[in-house]
Structure formats: C-alpha cells, structure tokens
Amino acid sequence: MSVRPAPEPPVRLTRWEQRTELPLFAVSLLFLTGYAVRVLAPHSAQPWHDIALLLVWSSWPVFLADYAVRVRLSGLGARFVHVHWLDTLVLLLPLLRPLRVVKVYSAVQQRYGRPRRDLYARVMTYAGLAAGLLGFSAALAVYHLEHTAPGASIRTFGDAVWWACATLTTVGYGDAAPVTFWGRTVAAGLMACGLALLGAVTGSFSSWLIQVFAREDEKRPPGRGQHRGGRF
C-alpha cells in the first residue's frame, strides 16, 4: 500500500490517462451514436445524416490526438504501437472501443468514491458491459453491410441485434446470418472477442456462485435446523 508509483508507465502518462478517460468515453459514445444514426436513419432524413457524419468524423481526430499524446508521454516511441497493440487497434477500429470500458469503469468508481465491489462482480460487470457494447457495435456494422445484400437474412436492425445475441452466446440458430464477405469478417471478430468476454462472464459468475455458497456455510444461523443437522 505504499505510494511508490508503478515502475513501468511514467507518472505523467498515468495521470493523463486518468484525466482523459471519461471525456474520451463521452467522445466514443458520441461516435457510436453518430454511427448508429448514420446507419439507422432513413436516407431521406437529410439533416440528421450530415450531423451524424460530422460526429463520426470529428471524434476520430480526438482519438488520434489522445493516441499521439500517449505515445509521447510513454517515452516508448515506435515500440508503443507494439506494446499497446490493443490501443492501436482501437484507434484504427473505433467500434472496438468498448474493450477499453474497463478503465472507464474504474475511473467512474474512483471519481465517485464508491466502495469497491467484489472482484468477481467487477469482472462480470466489465466483461458483460464490454460484450454488450461490442455486440451493439457489431449489430450496427453488420446491419450496415448486410441489409441491402442479395439473399441476406439480416434485413432489419432488429434482425441484426437478434443475430448478435445468438452469436455472442454461441447459440447460433442460423435464422439470421451474414452472407457478405465483410459482414462475415465482422461476425468472426465478434465471435472471437465476444466468446472470450462471455467466457469471462460465465467463469466469474461460476466462481462467484461457489464463493456465495461457501460463505453461506460459515454464517448459517444457529437454530433448529442447525441443531438437528449436528446430529448427523
């Protein structure tokens, strides 16, 4: 519990990340909203389309600027790209930003001084949130790519969300599935990320449940049942 800063990331980088986390998250929500409006609004809704496009294109430079500052502060130079490959990937594909929600989550908790929740509960919350946001992004992207394709089974945004649910949980009914090359690429990405995240949710739920039952054993209230139980 000493105040000694961790040796690896420089103090200024850590501070920068802590301060920018929430604003950046707001920007990425704007990005997602813009993309959603762009994809979902009918083509005739001219003003909204343009505003959405503006949102999408104006949030990206913000991400780029943040990335540049962090490369600078880290003092790693070109090695930053390799060491922080997830950040690099997220810069190129902003729809993957939900994966960074873990830092936002702890930033929020810290700012409002909430007492830390149970370890497993936090892992579940983070992985569940990230999976949900990724699923939503993937549903948007797949709807965008598929709904005009010939022979597509994903024709409405509802179908796309339904497909994302069935894919994330690996149920995979197959009543809605992408048919185009890019739709399938997005789907493969969702399977890979989502499977790992869902596995984390399931795994920590299982550990948490076992913990709950183990704890209950200890605090079993003494009474008639306990007494008779002792007879065995």
Q: Which of residues 203-232 bind a second copy (CB under 8 A)?
A: 203-207, 209-210, 213-214, 216-229, 231-232
| Interface with a second copy (CB under 8 A), residue from 122, 155, 157, 182 | 122
* Size of residue set near a second copy by CB under 8 A: 73
Closest distance of CB 163 from a second copy, Å: 9
Nearest to 34 by CA among 61, 58, 68: 58
Binding mask 145-164 for a second copy (x = CB under 8 A): -------------x---x--
Binding mask 59-98 for a second copy (x = CB under 8 A): ----------------------------------------
| Contact partners, residue 73, CB within 8 Å, separation at least 6 | 10, 12, 13, 16
Q: Closest CB to a second copy among 1 and 92? A: 1
Q: Closest CB to a second copy among 49 and 189? A: 189
Footprint on residues 8-37 left by a second copy (CB under 8 A): 14, 18
Calpha distance 47→127 (Å, rounded): 36
Calpha distance 50→106 (Å, rounded): 35
| Interface with a second copy (CB under 8 A), residue from 96, 120, 133, 186 | 120
Closest distance of CB 226 from a second copy, Å: 7
User: Which run of H or of E encompasses 3?
Assistant: none
The DSSP code for 78 is T
| Contact partners, residue 140, CB within 8 Å, separation at least 6 | 32, 35, 36, 39, 40, 95, 157, 160
Footprint on residues 181-200 left by a second copy (CB under 8 A): 181, 184, 187-188, 191-192, 195-196, 198-200
Q: Write down the H helix ranges in 98-180.
A: 101-111, 119-146, 157-168
